[in-house]
Amino acid sequence: MTVLGPAMKFGNNIDTDVILPGKYLVLVDPYELAKHALEGLDPNFPDKAKKGVIIIGGKNFGCGSSREQAPLALKYAGVKCVIAESFARIFFRNAINIGLAVIEQKGISAAVDDGDKVTVDFEAGTIQNVSKGRSFQVVKLPPFILEILADGGLIENLRRRMNKK
Amino acid sequence: MNITEKILAKASGKNTVQPGEIVDANVDMVMVHDLTGPLAVEAFKKIGTEKVWDNQKVVVILDHQVPAESIKAAELHKTMRQFAKDRKLRIYDVGRGGICHQVMPEKGHVVPGTVIVGADSHTCTYGAFGAFATGIGSTEAAAVFATGKIWLKVPEAIKINVNGKFGEYVTAKDLILNIIGKLGVDGAIYKSAEFTGQTISEMSIAGRMTVCNMAVEMGAKNGIVEPDETTRKFLQDRVKTLPDFAALKSDKDAAYEQTVEFNVAELEPQVACPSSVDNVKPVSEVGNVPIEQAFIGSCTNGRIEDLRLAAQILKGEKVKDGVRALVIPASVEVYKQALAEGLIEIFTEAGAVVCGSACGPCLGGHIGLLAAGETCVSTSNRNFIGRMGSTEASVYLASPATVAASAVTGKITDLRTLEAP
């Protein structure tokens, strides 16, 4: 699995309340949620993201609430992947479970500027900043997690595995 | 092994486990609420199985948008009621339960030594009873509904050793704010936070719940306290059979990634200033901060002990003009106890409004939201931008004592200075 897109940078400790404020948790349609993605930091984010972006986060990306609506809003707003220095663990699991690619890479913030073209190859375990000609070898996700992402999320993965039995 | 490792080893059928190892653990209890449940129901239906793996082990609690504040919320509640009815699940509906993290232990769903997952980040609260408890998302909850299992990476552990006796009006909340201020909001990321020491041993269940509740605010996977006589006393009439607590002690040679020491003897009341939970200062250094709202409640500080403390301060006093004070007992059980003890009358006489047991303004979804430019001092757990309403509002986190005193003076207040002659 490979993703490609322009980078959008964010700082440390981006919490799920700014990714998707609590007042929208009653919404169920992911496209409705997407209209409010990152509203707490940048109300124009959905417009900027709709052609497909890769978010570059700092430390502890997605901290706070367990709301799965946060990664859902990002995914349906057009985010193809989140690369961060580190993730809050519930956000990390949620993203994988709904089929939003996430990968951890220390030093990524300093190596990417807003708008740089970035590619991630999950099988090879590489991140490339095409604009700056830099590449990183990342710690690969375990095979069963790559499988969940390749299937498009945990439910699809579970269905496939249960049918196999 | 430490207590977390022992629980995870048992749950995955192993003799030992190591930090970093991924285990497939059997889940003893899974909880969803009205904002995370509907997505879980949708995901569960997509899996294509009708039955949950064990209907005695799935609990549904309506607590966030209750009573329904909108048609959309009413629809979500309807979805959860139907799902619970069709599968004969235990559901705590409006007026029957309260905040999920209070209801779970009160109603006997939390057993020491078990693995509990909940579609809410503050599920880590149940570590106060010596359970391994952690927050998950909705899709993952659906997978647990179907399989009864979850993959977990065995966390490295931080031992947080606390000694000393609290000064007057200094509480477990001040301790955990102090710890988060020192370790940072990512200070325990992916890790287990094990709380030990004389202060924790002497602490009430309510205090331990406050401490473990906020472990997630420093990124911890779980917070945990070894179960003891205090635990037994709280649970003995609520849980059918309690396990042998001796098997739930960390070994003398258990491994910890680090050990940090705290002493509460000299600890001042603490305040987490906007907009990060680790932006913590002693109350004496907060400065002049006028407030428009004071909130006493939430899964962090809505227990009877918290309400007693607040009532002690509000008795015979008046909430300052221009300030609205909200008091929300964490559960119906707490509400009834507060009623019996005359606390509700004290709050009402003081000019505070007492609302039905629910999450309330903590997450900015229901009642008590803030307008742009307003400031709230709150006993809850998060002060992020926009958490309690407008992105231009400010939230300060403090203990029930500090919040009650601030409601009276109209600004963030060190209670101890009020009492001085």
Q: What is the 3-state secondary structure (H, E, C) of B246-314?
A: HHHCCCCCCCCCEEEEEECCCCCCEEECCCCCCCEEEHHHCCCCECCEEEECHHHHCCHHHHHHHHHHH
Q: What is the pLDDT of residues B196-215, one digit of tens each?
A: 999 999 999 999 999 999 99
In a domain, B184, yes or no: yes
Does B249 reside within a domain?
no
Based on the fold, state whether residues B222 and B298 are members of the same structural domain: no
| Per-residue model confidence (pLDDT) at position B15 | 97
Task: Report yes or no for ipTM above 0.90.
Answer: yes
- At residue B323 the predicted structure's pLDDT band, cuts being 50, 70 and 90, is very high
Residue type, B371: A
Contact of B254 with B155, CB cutoff 8 Å? no
CB B365 to CB A25 under 8 A? Answer: yes
Alpha carbons B212 and B196: distance in angstroms, whole number? 12
CA distances from B230 to A74, B200, B351 (A): 44, 11, 35
Whether residues B305 and B258 fall in one domain: no
Please report whether residue B74 resides in a domain.
yes
- Average pLDDT of A11-39? 95
Label residue A162 by pLDDT band (50, 70, 90).
confident
Kindly state whether B10 is in contact with chain A, defined as any CB-CB distance less than 8 angstroms.
no
Residue recorded with tokens 């070898």: A137
Q: What secondary structure letter does DSSP report for A24?
A: G
**What domains does chain A contain, in order, with CATH numbers?**
2-164 (3.20.19.10)
Q: Which of B135, B143, B189 lies closest to A66 in CB terms?
A: B135
Q: Which residues pair with B159 in a beta bridge?
A: B194, B259
Q: Which helix (H) or strand (E) holds A135?
A: strand A134-137
**Residue B248 covered by a domain:** no
Q: Looking at chain B from residue 205 to 264, which residues have their Cβ under 8 Å from any Cβ of chain A?
A: 219, 221
pLDDT at B92 over 60: yes
Q: Are residues B336 and B234 in the same domain?
A: no
Q: How confident is the model at residue B421 (pLDDT cuts 50, 70, 90)?
A: very low
Mean pLDDT confidence for B221-242: 98
Residue-wise pLDDT for B22-74, tens only, equals 999 999 999 999 999 999 999 999 998 889 999 999 999 999 999 999 999 99
The whole domain housing B53 covers 3-240+254-263
- DSSP class of residue A107 equals T
Kindly state whether residues B143 and B282 are assigned to the same domain: no
State the average pLDDT for chain B: 97
Residues in A touching B139 (Cβ below 8 Å): 68, 94, 97-98, 153-155
Number of domains in chain B: 2
State pLDDT tens for residues B279-315: 999 999 999 999 999 999 999 999 999 999 999 999 9
B150 Cα to chain A: minimum distance (Å): 11
A158-162, B150-154, B238-242: least confidently modelled range? A158-162
User: B123 and B29, same structural domain?
Assistant: yes
Interface of B with A in 332-351 (CB under 8 A): none
**Facing B135 at nearest CB: one of A13, A22, A90:** A90
Span B331-368, pLDDT tens digits: 999 999 999 999 999 999 999 999 999 999 999 988 99
Q: Extract the tokens encoding A16.
A: 């799920």
C-beta atoms of B189 and A28 within 8 A: no
Which of A68, A74, A140, A165 has the highest number of chain B CBs within 10 A, making it the mutation to test binding with B?
Answer: A68
Of B1, B39, B7, the closest CA to residue B23 belongs to B7
Q: Can you read off the two tokens belonging to residue B407? A: 């409601």
A44-48, A140-144, B143-147, B393-397: least confident range:
A140-144
Confidence of residue B420 (pLDDT cuts 50, 70, 90): very low
Tell me the average pLDDT across B367-384: 97
Query: Rounded distance, CA B284 to CA B279, Å?
Result: 14
Residues 6+ apart with CB under 8 A from B251: B1, B2
| Segments in B113-256 forming alpha helices (H) | 138-147, 172-183, 198-201, 205-213, 229-235
For residue A164, is pLDDT > 80? no
CA distance B88 to chain A (A): 23
Q: What is the arithmetic mean of pLDDT over B89-103?
A: 98
Could you tell me if residue B184 is left (phi over 0), alpha (psi between -120 and 50 degrees) or otherwise beta? left
Same domain, B57 and B191: yes
For chain A, how long is the longest CA-to-CA vector? 47
What residue has token string 């009160």?
B106
Distance in Å, alpha carbon of B273 to nearest chain A alpha carbon: 15
pLDDT at B103 over 50: yes
**Same domain (yes/no): B306, B157:** no
Give the pLDDT mean for B255-269: 97
Residues B220 and B304 in one domain: no
CB contacts, 8 Å: B364 with chain A: 17, 21-23
Cβ-Cβ contacts under 8 Å, B36 against chain A: 66-68
In this complex, which of A21, A64, A154 lies closest to B121 when CB atoms are compared? Answer: A64
Nearest to B43 among A15, A86, A155 (CB): A155
Same domain, yes or no, for B334 and B210? Answer: no
Is residue B258 domain-shared with residue B333, that is, in the same domain?
Answer: no
Judge whether B245 lies within some domain.
no
Cβ-count burial of B341 within 10 angstroms (0-12 exposed, 13-18 middle, 19+ buried)? Answer: middle
Whether A159 and B120 lie within 8 Å, measured CB to CB: no
Read off the CATH number of the domain in which B196 is found.
3.30.499.10
Q: Based on the fold, state whether residues B222 and B276 are members of the same structural domain.
A: no
| Mean pLDDT, rounded, for A144-162 | 93
In a domain, B247, yes or no: no
Q: Is B392 on the interface with A (CB under 8 A)?
A: no
User: How buried is B66 (Cβ within 10 angstroms: 0-12 exposed, 13-18 middle, 19+ buried)?
Assistant: buried
Least confident of B101-115, B294-308, B407-421: B407-421
**Mind telling me how many Å the CA of A17 is from chain B's nearest CA?**
6
Whole-angstrom CA distances from B133 to A69, B31, B115, B212 are 22, 11, 6, 10
pLDDT of residue A163: 79
B117: β partners: B30, B134
**Looking at the structure, do residues B90 and B229 belong to the same domain, yes or no?**
yes
Backbone angles phi and psi of B245, in degrees to 5: -70, -20
Residues of A in contact with B389 (CB under 8 A): 23
Give dist(CA A125, CA A107) in Å, integer.
16
Instruction: State the average pLDDT over residues B240-245.
Output: 96
CB contact under 8 A, B38 and A97: no
Rounded to two decimals, what is the model's pTM?
A: 0.96
Question: B246 in a domain, yes or no?
Answer: no
Q: What is the mean pLDDT of chain A?
A: 95
CA distance B30 to B104: 10
Q: Which of B247, B252, B208 is nearest to B105 (CA)?
A: B208
> A16 Cβ partners below 8 Å, 6+ apart?
A62, A63, A64, A65, A66, A67, A70, A91
**CB atoms A26 and B138 under 8 Å:** no
Q: Do B64 and A25 touch (CB under 8 A)?
A: yes
| CA B262 – CA B253 distance, rounded (Å) | 21
Sheet with B115-118, edge to edge strand ranges: B90-92, B58-61, B29-33, B115-118, B132-135
